[in-house]
Structure 1
Amino acid sequence: MFFKQHRFSNLIIPISYLLDLLIINVLAYLLPIQFQTPLLFHTYISIGWIVISLKNEFYKVYRYTKVAYILMLLFTQFIFFFLILYAFIGFFKQPIISRLAMGQYFVFVFIAVFTLKFLNYTFFMKYRERIKGNIRNVVVIGKNKKTDQLISVFQERSEFGYNFVCQFSPKLLDFDIENCFEFLLNNNVDEIYCSVSELKNEELTQIINFADNNLKTLKFIPDNKNIFSKKLKFEYYDYIPVLSLRDIPLHNPINAFLKRSFDVVFSLIIIFGLLSWLIPLLAIIIILESKGPVFFRQSRNGIDNREFYCYKFRSMAPNKDADNYSATKNDMRVTKVGRFIRRTSIDELPQFYNVLFGTMSVVGPRPHMVKHTNEYSASVDKYMVRHFVKPGITGLAQVRGYRGEIETEADIQNRTKFDIFYIENWSLFLDFKIMVQTIMNAFKGEAKAY
């Protein structure tokens, strides 16, 4: 039941990497190749495989990918793997290595990886077809030859894992885009497919805004070549061309795996290296100044708008307005020790437990109180795009001066713009840059750190 209700696709690629690297290294260990420096070969071949895979996009196999494309990936991957394999002999001067043994090793690796890749591909196809797991609910807006072909793909190719829910035709006199939006919200629709040729520019804008504000994946069925641009992602479902509006880097399983790995390692370092002794010390100081718990727990909105409990060191005297009103300048609820830990951002450190548990990331859009999310989602355009990724302890908007209290409408609009920029342009380098800036700001002090 868990796997039917949750998306676990992000785990497939990292696991595939690990299994292939295991095959490559175990076979090198078992076969009598006579390495002078086995550790050097294992390191070399592992790094080489990863670099080739990234360049070749070897693990980018989607639910609608054709078998011919997978064969092409395998062919390309092993052409380069063959070259780096035999280059090892010349680069590192290994005269005692048998060329024949290397050839046997190459063949065994090819057979093992080939078999594993097709077993993996077949397993997930059968899983979606027979068990109906990892399904996406889809709606098509438009009524023409291309939309009918796409619907046929959804219905006939059950192994793709798409559940066609409904079709709306803008050509009909009773077509109402607001009724369409209401249907999408009431029927748990995941993806929307629009025929560009049947929609007016105003309707397209409305649909784009609706999808952004309600966390729906939006894709276009093109009518001509004028729709193409570098920002759009071009894909084929069987033989039907489909365009994705937004390509989010963290929806790439490798990027998600790298970010999650960093989050786990970094949070463990902070928890054991800093919080292990800081929590008892601050607990004594907080309790001595005011009665109440050491930690403050508040419900906030995270990825896919799911609510979670965000943890902080308690910086205010216990009060009934904590979940309704953020701290303001000279707020009487803030304690003396609270002013210090808020000014230095020490109060945020317990959120590394949130990071470890997977509800937050070290860097990402800051999570807001549920009340504020409901307010801003109704008044700020594209506000809900922030929830396509996990919220962070710090973020791009925070280091650019938009942290703390929202005083004007421009504050939340600019915060949203920076958050969307981060989501669409994520990189590990950007994360490191934001973290360094956050530490510098904590030492310098910030105007809204109250």
Structure 2
Amino acid sequence: MQASTNGKTFHLYLSYDDEARPYTTKRVLRSLKKRGFDLLIASIVVASILIWLIPILALLIKLTSPGPAIFVQSRTGRNGRVFPCLKFRTMTYDRNAEFHQATQHDMRVTRIGKFLRKTNLDEMPQFLNVLAGHMSIVGPRPHPIPLDAQHWHTLPGYKERYTVRPGITGLAQARGARGETAELYKMKVRVRYDHLYIRRQSTRLDAKICWWTVQAAIKGNKNAW
């Protein structure tokens, strides 16, 4: 698959294709359990929370900043497939703006946006991505296409993050490895966490990561700008 950023085209491909590996009984059962976990949690959240949260937050966003309430951004999914990732908009709206990671004290972040980012509420629409099969509840975070372009062919192990469905939250984020990645070592830390998760993924670990994420959201994520 090809993707374009700043007028340049780069190829999204994996050094090994997860779908090409043998489908052992253990692997199939693990995949079914994970998808079942995703569908159960996402269905509960959409039916009991998003049904009223989206209208309320959408109204607050629209009242405090012109532009759409839901921000749709192309991101890389499993095996390099690009999908439309949904988020509550947290920045001032500019249809033609180029991608720049949010930084501390970023003037583009709105007042309501600061709250949404600190509490992870900006990610809530991604439960709809889970129901659509684009994402999992837990997995390596999907990055914007321009950020992938920086690391896809140069950072060892980077593209292998996409051998599984990306997640709303992940081991890296639950352990504080989030925020901007201007320094390469920050991205390397995320990649190490993502590889650790891929090797050890289980329903029990997913449940732990969800709990850690909730705890971090309640306390307020210090790296969420």
Q: What's the TM-score, normalizing by structure 2?
A: 0.88
How far apart, in 2, do the equivalents of 1:366 and 1:247 lie? Answer: 25
Say what the alpha-carbon RMSD is for the aligned residues: 2.4
Distance of aligned partners of 1:296 and 1:422 in 2 relative to their CA distance in 1, 3 Å threshold: same
Find the residue that maps to 1:365 and give its secondary structure: coil
Which position in structure 2 is the counterpart of 1:359?
Answer: 134
Counterpart of 2:87 in structure 1 is: 312
Give distance in 2, aligned partners of 1:432 and 1:283.
Answer: 29
Q: Which runs of 5 or more residues in structure 2 are unaligned?
A: 1-10
The equivalences for 1:16-415 within 5 A come to 214-217=14-17, 252-320=27-95, 324-415=99-190
Larger relative contact order (Cα-Cα within 8 Å, sequence gap ≥ 6): 2
Quick one: distance in 1 between partners of 2:182 and 2:28?
A: 38
Separation of aligned partners in 1, 2:123 and 2:103: 17
Contact 2:77–2:165, Cα closer than 8 Å, also in 1: yes
Partner of 1:165: none
Alpha-carbon deviation of 1:308?
Answer: 0.3
Aligned partners of 1:420, 1:305: CA distance in 2, in Å?
Answer: 16
Q: Distance in 2 between matches of 1:319 and 1:387?
A: 29
Normalising by structure 1, report the TM-score.
0.45
Query: Partners in 1 of 2:42 and 2:24 — Cα distance?
Result: 22
Distance across 1 between alignment mates of 2:23 and 2:218: 33
Tell me what 2:8 maps to.
Answer: none
Q: Given residue 389 of structure 1, which amino acid in structure 2 is its aligned partner?
A: V
Deviations 1:42-93 (A, max 9, x none): xxxxxxxxxxxxxxxxxxxxxxxxxxxxxxxxxxxxxxxxxxxxxxxxxxxx
| Letter paired with 2:199 | E
Q: Which runs of 5+ in 1 are unaligned?
A: 1-185, 187-212, 219-245
For the 8 Å contact 1:297–1:310, the answer to whether it is kept is yes
Amino acid at match of 2:143: H
TM-superposed CA distance for 1:319, in Å, is 2.1
For residues 266 and 253 of structure 1, do their structure 2 counterparts lie closer, same or farther at Cα, with a shift above 3 Å needed? same
- Higher CA-based Rg: 1
Aligned-pair identity in percent equals 42
Partner of 2:212: 437
Distance 1:282 1:355 in 2: 20
C-alpha distance in structure 1 between counterparts of 2:161 and 2:128, whole Å: 21
Aligned residues: 213
Deviations 1:218-270 (A, max 9, x none): 9xxxxxxxxxxxxxxxxxxxxxxxxxxx9999981111111111111111111
Which of the two has greater helix per residue?
1
2:17–2:79: 8 Å Cα contact kept in structure 1? no
8 Å CA contact retained: 2:88, 2:122? yes
Aligned counterparts of 2:37 and 2:111: Cα–Cα separation in 1: 34
Q: Distance in 1 between matches of 2:84 and 2:216?
A: 26
